[in-house]
Structure 1
Amino acid sequence: MKRAALALIAAPLLLAGCSLAPRTVLPAPPVPQSWPVGDAYLLQSEEALPILSYKTVFADARLQSLVEQALANNRDLRVAYANVAAARAQARVSRAGQLPSFGVSAGAGYSDSGGTGGGAGDFSLRGGVTAFELDLFGRLANAAESDRNSALATEAASRTVRVALIADLANIWATYGADRDLLKIAGDTAANARESVRLTQARLDGGVAPRTDLRQAEQILATAEDAIAQQKTAIAQDENLMRLLVGGDIDRALLPASLGDVTPGVAALPAGVNSQILLRRPDVIEAEYRLRAANADIGVARARLFPAISLTGLLGFASDALGSLFDSGAFNYSVGGDTTATIFDFGGRRAGVDVTKAQRDAAVAGYEGAIQTAFREVADALAVQGTISERVRAATANTSAAADTAMLTDARYKGGVDSFLASLDAQRSLYAARRSEIATQLLLVQTRIALFRALGGDSGAGAEATATR
Structure 2
Amino acid sequence: MTKRFITTALAGAAALMLAGCSLIPTYERPAAPVPATFPNAAAAPTAPGQPPAATVAWQDYFTDPRLQQLIHLALTNNRDLQVSILNIEQARAQFQITRAALYPALNASASGTRQRPSLVGDGVSSVYSVGLGVTAWELDFFGRVASLKDAALAQYLATEEARKATQISLIASVANGWLAVLGDDEALEITRRTMVTRDDSLKLTKLRFDNGVASEIDYRFAEAQAETARATYAQQQRLRLQDENALALLLGAPVPPETIVGAAEGLQALAPMPEVPAGLPSDLLVERPDIRAAEQQLIAANANIGAARAAFFPRVTLTTSIGTTSSEFSNLFSSGTKAWAFAPQITLPIFNAGANQANLDSARAGQKIAVAQYEKSIQSAFREVADALAGRATYDEELRALVAQSKAEETRFQLSDMRYRGGVASGLDLLDAQRSLFTSQLATAQIRQQRLQNQVVLYKTLGGGWATR
1:27 alignment partner, SS class: coil
Q: For residues 408 and 394 of structure 2, what CA distance do their matches in structure 1 show?
A: 21
- How far apart, in 2, do the equivalents of 1:212 and 1:295 lie? 76
Specify which of 209, 217, 221 is matched with residue 204 of structure 1.
209
Change in CA separation of 1:168 and 1:324 when aligned onto 2, cut-off 3 Å = closer
Partner of 2:387: 380
Which residue is equivalent to 2:121? none
Match of 2:430 in 1: 423
Matched, 1:325 2:330: no
Q: In 2, Cα distance between the equivalents of 1:138 and 1:369?
A: 31
Contact 2:325 2:332 in 1 (8 A): no
- The offset of 1:149, in angstroms, is 0.7
SS of the aligned residue for 2:247 comes to helix
Counterpart residue number, 1:456: 463
Paired residues for 1:104-253 under 5 Å = 104-106=108-110, 124-253=129-258
The 3 A distance-change label for structure 1 pair 399 and 98 is same
Change (3 A) 1:291 1:105: same
CA contact (8 A) 1:197 1:214 kept: yes
Query: What is aligned with 2:27?
Result: 24
**What is the Cα deviation at residue 350 of structure 1?**
2.0
Task: Give the direction of change, closer, same or farther, for the CA distance of 1:457–1:262 in structure 2 (3 Å limit).
Answer: farther
Verify the 8 A CA contact 2:167 2:466 in the aligned structure 1. no
Q: Does the C-alpha gap of structure 1 residues 102 and 460 become closer, same or farther in structure 2, counting only changes over 3 Å?
A: farther
Q: Which amino acid aligns with 1:221?
A: A
Paired letter, 1:325: F
Of 439, 446, 451 in structure 2, the residue corresponding to residue 444 of structure 1 is 451
Distance 2:276 2:259 in 1: 28
The equivalent residue for 1:336 is: 343
Tell me the CA shift for residue 263 of structure 1: 6.0
Return the offset for 1:107.
5.0
Letter in 2 for 1:267: M
Aligned length: 446
Alignment check: 8 A CA contact 1:217 1:424 kept: yes
Q: Does 1:270 align with 2:270?
A: no
- Looking at structure 2, the residues matched to 84 and 285 of structure 1 have their Cα atoms a distance apart, in angstroms, of 15
- Alpha-carbon separation, structure 1, partners of 2:348 and 2:317: 12
| Distance verdict in 2 for CA 1:219–1:255, change over 3 Å | same
Q: Match for 2:283: what amino acid?
A: I
Partner of 2:120: none
CA-CA distance at 1:441 after TM superposition: 0.5
- Please state whether the residue corresponding to 2:415 is helix, strand or coil: helix
Alpha carbons of 1:343 and 1:173: their partners in 2 closer, same or farther (altered >3 Å)?
same
Distance 1:92 1:455 in 2: 33
Cα shift readout 1:30-84 (whole Å, capped 9, x = no counterpart): 3334332477x24445645151321111111111111111111111112222222
| C-alpha separation in 1, matches of 2:296 and 2:41 | 35
Q: Secondary structure at the match of 1:203?
A: helix
Between 1:409-418 and 1:279-288, the stretch displaced more is 409-418
Q: Distance in 1 between matches of 2:47 and 2:206?
A: 62
- Structure 2 counterpart of 1:277, which letter? D
In the alignment, structure 1 residue 400 sits paired with structure 2 residue 407: yes
Residues 37 and 235 of structure 1: CA distance in aligned 2, closer, same or farther (over 3 Å): closer
Q: Does 1:76 align with 2:80?
A: yes
Instruction: Report the AA paired with residue 316 of structure 1.
Output: G
Q: Give 1:26 deviation, angstroms.
A: 0.4
Counterpart in the other structure of 2:117:
none
Alignment correspondent of 1:433: 440
Alpha-carbon distance between aligned partners in 2 of 1:65 and 1:205, rounded to the nearest angstrom: 56
Partners of 1:139 and 1:333 in 2: how far apart?
A: 29
Question: Which has the larger displacement, 12-21 or 215-224?
Answer: 12-21
**Deviation (angstroms), 1:239:** 1.7
Q: Distance in 2 between matches of 1:272 and 1:73?
A: 32
For structure 1, which segment, 409-418 or 171-180, has the greater mean C-alpha deviation from structure 2 after superposition? 409-418
In the TM superposition, residue 178 of structure 1 has moved relative to its aligned partner by 0.6
Task: List runs of 5+ in structure 1 lacking aligned partners.
Answer: 111-120, 464-469
| Other-structure match for 1:358 | 365
In the TM superposition, what is the alpha-carbon distance from 1:418 to its structure 2 partner?
2.1
* TM-score, L = length of structure 2: 0.88
In the TM superposition, residue 105 of structure 1 has moved relative to its aligned partner by 1.6
Matches within 5 A, 1:33-112: 33-37=36-40, 41-44=43-46, 47=49, 49=52, 51-106=55-110
- The alpha carbon displacement at 1:223 in A equals 0.6
In structure 2, what residue type is equivalent to 1:317? T
Moved more, 57-66 or 334-343: 334-343
Stretch of structure 1 that moved more, 250-259 or 168-177: 250-259
Distance in 2 separating the partners of 1:255 and 1:300 = 55
Q: Measure, in 2, the Cα distance between the counterparts of 1:429 and 1:29.
A: 49
User: Which amino acid in the other structure matches residue 70 of structure 1?
Assistant: A
TM-score (norm 1): 0.88
| Distance across 2 between alignment mates of 1:332 and 1:36 | 77
User: 1: CA distance between counterparts of 2:266 and 2:309?
Assistant: 62
CA deviations on 1:418-469 (whole Å, 9 max, x unpaired) are 22211111111000000010011001110111012101213449x9xxxxxx
User: In the superposition, relative to structure 1, how do residues 313 and 429 fare at CA in structure 2: closer, same or farther (>3 Å)?
Assistant: same
Cα 1:58/1:69, change in 2 over 3 Å: same
Q: In the alignment, which residue of structure 2 is the partner of 1:113?
A: none
Residue 298 to residue 107, structure 1, CA distance change in 2 (3 Å):
closer
Task: Tell me which residue corresponds to 1:117.
Answer: none
1:17–1:141 Cα contact (<8 Å) kept:
no
